A and B are shown apart, each in its own frame.
Chain A
Amino acid sequence: MLERLKRPWPDHRAERALGAVSLLLGVVIVAMIAFVAVRSWPIFQHNGLRWLGGGGDFEAEIARMNAATAHPTAADYQLRAWPLLYGTLLSTAIAVALGIAIAVLASVFIVELAPRRLSRVVIPVVRLLASVPSVIYGLIGILVLVPFVGNHLVSEGDRRSVLGVVQLTGAGLAPTVAILTVMITPIMIALVCEALEAVPPSWKEGAVALGLNPLRAVRAVTLKAIRPAIVAAAVLATARALGEAVMIQMVSGGKTFAPNLDHGVPVFLFEPLRTLASAILDFREGIGSPSLKAAVYSFSLLLLLSAFVLSVGGYLVKLPLRRHQARA
């Protein structure tokens, strides 16, 4: 047998072997979706789609799940996870919005405005920021940023205004969004810079020849030309932000709460929150209990599906923008 393996293989056998290995990857993906979906089924079974909505007391529901036995009753599966969705959407939306603005400005700076030597410094800086592990961002967040917010930004008046509703410790929306923005911006800068450099210089030359100053030329023509790339960058950044678990878990306050705009702006930013990803981390020890396990899997299913939707959606959004691009 070993003899046969050692001799050079004929092509068709090699092809089939390699093909099988490659297909293994496809199998893995299907398995991933299937496993996660199957294990989250009990939540759908007992709640329907209402588990995505609000109205329940999330913390109490989780506590009950934790305490449930190996054979949980229907009541043990009760779940209303809207605060988690809200926290996820809120933190992601703000971080991506801030991130795109900063990324486009910084990319224009790097490619158009900065002198050569400064550009050469900024590019490794961007790469550095992208490669810092999320646990280190979380560490700095929890040891530096959170105490700063808690001690210096949150005033006594703020605390009193929500007394009895929620405790403002500093950990919450503000540090979460701040660090999340710093984490996702480098990815966007890399994509936008690449796109800026790929724009035909004849467009900018034409705009300058029409009497525009260089920055205006970039704003009026080049930025319009890279709109598909900006969309792609935003989609990639959103996917990254959705999946961030460790940093957010360290910095967001560990309490399921939906930051409430009615409390006024500074207070709203200081309120704690929880996202789908950080919840998975929070409840990882309770995996022993079947109902909690099903809940955790259902959060994962949601994240998996949204990552999938994002890659398809990003592609679809780019299609109409391609109308105005140069023909292939």
Chain B
Amino acid sequence: MSAVAVRSGRTGGRRSSPMSWRWSDRLALAAAWLAGLSLCLIAAAIVLYMGYRGIQYLRPGMIFERPQASADQAGSGGFLDPLLGTIVVSAVGIAIALPLAVASAVWITEYGHGGRLSRALARVVESSIEIVAGTPDIVIAIFGLAVFQLPLLAPLSFQAEGGGVFGRSFIAAGAMMSLLALPPLYAATRDGLQAVPAHMREAAFALGKTRITTVRRVLMPSVRSNIATGTTLGISRIVGSTAIVLILLGSTLRIETQGAVPVVNLLRGTGSSLTTYVYENSPAGEGAAPEKAYAAAFVLLVLVLALNVVIERLGRGRRDVISSVI
């Protein structure tokens, strides 16, 4: 078409190189790279160091051995009780938080648009959950203490030999853990419900179903994965919490039950969790056994990372995954 020889296509011309930028731009470029890379370095350092120490000190048997009070602190005993303690506390926390969170989410998305009263109440509930989300763990723990030290709730706490009511027990810790798990569970369920398109509800109403039946039969099944994501988020927050367990469960390394009734005696009992086990064995606690602390910390880290992977798998591409960092 043309007499001029066609040059092969050029994809780019001269770019302005950082050498010609203002010095503040060059500084910013270097600083941004530095920030990004150091973050990776720090994360790698933490994971590698914990892994190194964990492999060094973790004996596979430790997961199944009970903590032992013996002269040879470093060599003896494991953390079965603390591990069970973590499981119990998580179970109690989720058991309380799940129905509360789902009920509130359902109420706010389905019923909270009615009259002025319900809309005002809806805002109150949303604000409350936000306040709970923003409250530090330790304040929640102190609040739990205040509640469970009430004489009314004495039967629910562990009573030491002296008979003093300390307001500590698995049920106390678990109840407060539910406040930790509540906001993510609520948010995930609410987002899932809001994402259900209106026509699904309308189709059910057109068939004559009541709202509550629609919720049970139509909406709940479709938000199952949201609830799963929220639950896992809640569990990972509970598993990582130390302050609540320290204050509401105490420092006894072994699980001690109270009373005769099978499950209730565990709930009324005391013990420790993986996190407090790490804490107590470190120099900050009674700890002459940093080796055990490292071993338990390694298991704890693996547990949390595993939960993270589950969250990512469940919540692929969804909003609640981003906010899981917050």
Write the residues of chain A forming the contact surface with B, with a CB cutoff of 8 angstroms: 8-11, 14-15, 17-19, 21-26, 28-29, 31-32, 35-36, 39, 102, 105-106, 108-110, 113-114, 118, 121-122, 125-136, 138-140, 142-144, 182, 185-187, 189-191, 194, 213, 215-216, 219, 236, 239-240, 242-246, 249-250, 277, 280-281, 284, 287-288, 296-297, 300, 303-304, 307-308, 310-311
Name the contact of B284 in the complex, choosing from A35, A142, A213 (C-beta under 8 A). A142
- Which residues of chain B have C-beta atoms less than 8 A from A9's C-beta? 210, 212
B131 and A127 form a contact (CB under 8 A):
no
Show 24 A/B contacts (Cβ-Cβ < 8 Å), sorted by A: A11-B210, A22-B107, A26-B124, A35-B143, A110-B36, A127-B324, A128-B47, A133-B275, A136-B278, A138-B282, A140-B46, A143-B282, A185-B39, A189-B39, A216-B21, A242-B136, A277-B138, A280-B138, A280-B142, A284-B247, A288-B164, A297-B146, A307-B131, A307-B135
Do the beta carbons of A311 and B134 come within 8 Å of each other?
Answer: yes
Does B104 touch A at the CB level, under 8 Å? yes
Q: Shortest Cβ distance from A277 into chain B, in angstroms?
A: 5
The answer to whether the Cβ of B213 comes within 8 Å of any Cβ in the partner chain is: yes
User: Are B282 and A139 in contact, with the CB atoms below 8 A?
Assistant: yes
A102, A114, A244, A296: residue with the most chain B Cβ atoms closer than 10 Å = A102
Contact B107 A142 (CB under 8 A): no
Residues of B within 8 A of A130 (CB): 325
Task: Given A127-B325, A139-B282, A142-B283, check contact A11 B125 (CB 8 Å).
Answer: no
Q: Give the segment of B193-201, B221-229, B289-297 that binds chain A.
A: B289-297
Which of A28, A190, A284, A303 has a CB less than 8 Å from the CB of B136?
A: A303
- B278 CB contacts on chain A under 8 angstroms: 135-136, 139
Those 3 A-B pairs whose CB atoms lie nearest each other, nearest first: A243-B136, A133-B240, A109-B36
CA–CA, A142 and B243, complex, Å = 17
Structural contact, A24 and B29, CB atoms closer than 8 A? no
B33: Cβ under 8 A from any A Cβ: yes
CB pair B211–A136 under 8 Å, yes or no, is no
- In Å, the complex CA distance between A310 and B146 comes to 24
Question: Do B210 and A131 touch (CB < 8 A)?
Answer: no
A contact residues around B182 at 8 Å (CB): 25
Within B131-148, which residues are at the interface with A (CB < 8 Å)? 131-132, 134-140, 142-143, 145-147
Which residues in B have their C-beta under 8 angstroms from that of A29? 128, 131-132
Inside 8 A of A244's CB, which chain B residues have their CB? Answer: 136
Q: Are A310 and B134 in contact (CB under 8 A)?
A: yes
Q: Kindly state the separation between the CA atoms of A189 and B108 in the bound complex, as whole angstroms.
A: 31
Across the interface, which residues of B come within 8 angstroms of A139, CB to CB?
A: 278, 282, 293-294, 297
In the bound complex, do residue A307 and residue B213 qualify as a contact, i.e. CB atoms below 8 Å apart? Answer: no
B288 at the interface (CB under 8 A from A): no
Contacts A21-B107, A304-B139 given; does A126 touch B300 at CB 8 Å: no
Instruction: With A132-B301, A311-B130, A311-B134 given, name 13 new contacts (CB 8 A).
Output: A8-B212, A10-B210, A11-B211, A15-B212, A19-B118, A25-B100, A25-B128, A35-B146, A36-B143, A126-B39, A215-B29, A216-B22, A219-B25
Our pick among A118, A121, A142, A213 for the contact of B16 (Cβ within 8 Å) is A213
Would you call B236 an interface residue if the criterion is a C-beta within 8 Å of the partner chain's C-beta atoms?
Answer: yes
In the docked arrangement, what's the CA distance between A121 and B40, Å? 9
Given contacts A25-B104, A106-B39, A131-B305, A246 and B243 within 8 Å (CB-CB): yes
Q: How far is the CA of A7 from the CA of B300 in the complex (A)?
A: 45
Determine whether the beta carbon of A249 is less than 8 Å from that of B284: yes
Chain B, residues 83-108, CB within 8 Å of chain A (1/0): the string is 00000000000000001100110111
The one of A25, A240, A246 that contacts B129, using a Cβ cutoff of 8 Å: A25
B134 CB, nearest partner CB in chain A, Å: 5
Q: Chain A nearest CB: distance from B90 CB in Å?
A: 13
- Residues of B contacting A138 in the complex (Cβ-Cβ under 8 angstroms): 279, 282, 284
> How many residues on B have C-beta within 8 angstroms of the other chain's C-beta atoms?
88
Query: CB < 8 Å: which of A118, A127, A213, A300 contacts B139?
Result: A300
Chain A positions within 8 Å of B146 at CB level: 35-36, 39, 297
Contact B143 A25 (CB under 8 A): no
Task: Select from chain B the residue with minimum beta-carbon distance to A244.
Answer: B136
B314 contacts A by Cβ under 8 Å = no
Provide the residues of chain A in CB contact with B325, threshold 8 Å: 126-127, 130-131, 186-187, 190
Q: In the bound complex, how far is the Cα of B143 from the Cα of A28, in angstroms?
A: 10
Q: Which residue of A lies closest to B164 (CB)?
A: A288
The reply on B264 being an interface residue by CB < 8 A is: no
Q: Is A113's CB under 8 angstroms from B43's CB?
A: no
CB of B63 closer than 8 Å to a CB of A:
no
Structural contact, A113 and B139, CB atoms closer than 8 A = no
Distance between B81 CB and nearest chain A CB, rounded to angstroms: 17
* Bound-state Cα–Cα, A36 to B132, Å: 14
Q: Which chain A residues lie closer than 8 Å to B118 at the CB level?
A: 19
- Specify which of B107, B142, B279 is in contact with A135 (CB 8 Å cutoff): B279
Residue numbers in A under 8 Å from B159 (CB-CB): none
Do A21 and B131 touch across chains, with their CB atoms under 8 A apart?
Answer: no
In the complex, the chain A residue whose C-beta lies closest to that of B283 is A142
Q: Let me know if B156 is at the binding interface, CB within 8 A.
A: no
The minimal Cβ–Cβ distance linking B150 to chain A, given in whole angstroms, is 9
Complexed CA–CA distance, A234 and B243 (Å) = 24
Contacts of A249 in B (CB 8 A): 284
Given known A9-B212, A133-B240, A136-B300, contact A36–B134 (CB-CB < 8 A): no
Nearest B residue to A13 via CB reads B212
Closest residue on chain A to residue B273 by CB atoms = A135
A15 to B122 Cα, complex, angstroms:
12
Chain A residues with Cβ below 8 Å from B28 are 105, 108, 215, 219
User: Are the C-beta atoms of B179 and A28 separated by less than 8 Å?
Assistant: yes
A249→B282 CA distance, assembly (Å):
12
Known: A29-B131, A113-B33. A215 touches B25 (CB 8 A): yes
When each residue 240-253 of chain B gets 1 if its CB lies under 8 Å from chain A and 0 otherwise, what string results? Answer: 11110011000000
B243 CB contact (under 8 Å) in A35, A239, A245: A245
**Residues of the A chain whose Cβ atoms lie less than 8 Å from the Cβ of B305:** 128, 131
